[in-house]
């Protein structure tokens, strides 16, 4: 009658218990731990080269080549893709109780498209047509640039679209210059007018006047003209800031964000 050997646990990493086939069977066969243990010994016994300038030189050249490649790709994107600068003016900072008075989408080096909410005769202001127009405009460009659009303009527009029973923006590649200024510059304020004053010596932005906004929301045509002009200047300033700071922006890494995929 043969001797019954008790189960043993694998000595390599204790991965499991197994029935040993001999007195020196210490590694489990199921996980190939004997081979793993032998490979580990080879790695430990391999000589480590501490001073290897040839390898360092190659690694450094590779890093520089990759940096040049990214810079060249960014220039190619600027020359071969469409860009728009986007800004909105609203009656309230929260889209659930406010609406879009007007908004501007400026093509890079081109014209500015302006959408204005109207008050029909005997009715009240409605931004339904405005938000549909803005969504279609933004989806037609390869890149959309904003200033704090991540936290305001884009979610505000999507909220207003949903409120009106419409689908949100379905495709967007977004460049938010607010974060470029915040993390690449050191300013006393990250407001767009401060960034423009720092870069160009002055800012063309107009003041935000509360009474004018209130009158515009009530349908005053002169007040609305002021709001529209304010918005148009914003996107023009935004484009100038983009060109001055574009060296800090890696356009090639900007991902295409898909909004409203469940709609």
CA neighbor of 43 nearest in space, from 32, 35, 53, 51? 35
Same domain, 29 and 107: no
Two structure tokens written together for 82: 């469409």
Residue 180 within a domain: yes
Same domain, 25 and 98: no
Same domain, 237 and 181: yes
Domain of residue 148, residue span = 82-257
3-state secondary structure of 260: coil
What is the DSSP secondary-structure string of 22-61?
STT--S-TTTTHHHHHHHHHHHHHSPP-S--HHHHHHHHH
Same domain, 97 and 208: yes
> Per-residue pLDDT tens for 219-231?
889 999 999 999 9
Q: Residue 61: how many CB atoms within 10 A of its CB?
A: 10
Structure pTM? Answer: 0.78
Residue 70 within a domain: no
The answer to whether residue 258 scores a pLDDT higher than 90 is: no
The answer to whether the Cα torsion of 74, 76, 79, 85 is positive or negative is negative
Same domain, 227 and 108: yes
Residue 64 within a domain: no
Whether the CB-CB separation of 161 and 100 falls below 8 Å is answered with no
Same domain, 38 and 86: no
Residue 65 within a domain: no
Same domain, 198 and 252: yes
Residue 251 within a domain: yes
Strand partners of residue 18:
8
Residue 56 within a domain: no
The domain tally of the chain equals 2
Same domain, 189 and 100: yes
Same domain, 93 and 39: no
Whether the CB-CB separation of 237 and 225 falls below 8 Å is answered with no
> Per-residue pLDDT tens for 153-212?
999 999 999 999 999 999 899 999 999 999 999 999 999 999 999 999 988 888 878 888
Residue 148 within a domain: yes
Rounded average pLDDT over 239-254 = 94
Q: Residue 106: how many CB atoms within 10 A of its CB?
A: 23
CATH (domain of 186): 3.30.420.10
């Amino acid at each position: 009658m043969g001797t019954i050997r008790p189960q043993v646990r694998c000595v390599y990493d204790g991965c499991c218990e197994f029935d040993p086939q001999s007195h020196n069977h210490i590694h489990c066969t199921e996980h190939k731990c004997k081979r793993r243990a032998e490979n580990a010994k080879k790695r430990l016994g391999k000589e480590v080269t501490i001073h290897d300038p040839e390898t360092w030189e190659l690694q450094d050249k590779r890093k520089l080549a990759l940096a040049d490649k990214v810079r060249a790709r960014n220039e190619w994107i600027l020359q071969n893709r469409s860009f728009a600068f986007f800004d909105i003016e609203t009656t309230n900072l929260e889209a659930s109780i406010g609406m879009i008075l007007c908004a501007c989408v400026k093509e890079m080096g081109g014209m500015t498209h302006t959408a204005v909410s109207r008050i029909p005769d005997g009715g009240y202001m409605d931004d339904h047509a405005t938000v549909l127009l803005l969504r279609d405009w933004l989806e037609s460009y390869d890149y959309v640039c904003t200033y704090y659009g991540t936290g305001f303009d884009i979610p505000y527009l999507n909220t207003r679209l949903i409120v009106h029973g419409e689908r949100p923006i379905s495709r967007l590649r977004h460049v938010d210059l607010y974060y470029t200024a915040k993390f690449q510059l050191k300013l006393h304020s990250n407001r767009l007018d401060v960034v423009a004053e720092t870069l160009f010596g002055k800012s063309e932005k107009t003041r935000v006047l509360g009474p004018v906004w209130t009158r515009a929301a009530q349908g005053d045509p002169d007040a609305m003209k002021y709001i529209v002009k304010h918005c148009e200047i914003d996107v023009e300033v935004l484009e100038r800031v983009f060109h001055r700071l574009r060296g800090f922006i890696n356009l090639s890494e900007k991902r295409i964000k898909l909004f409203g995929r469940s709609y």
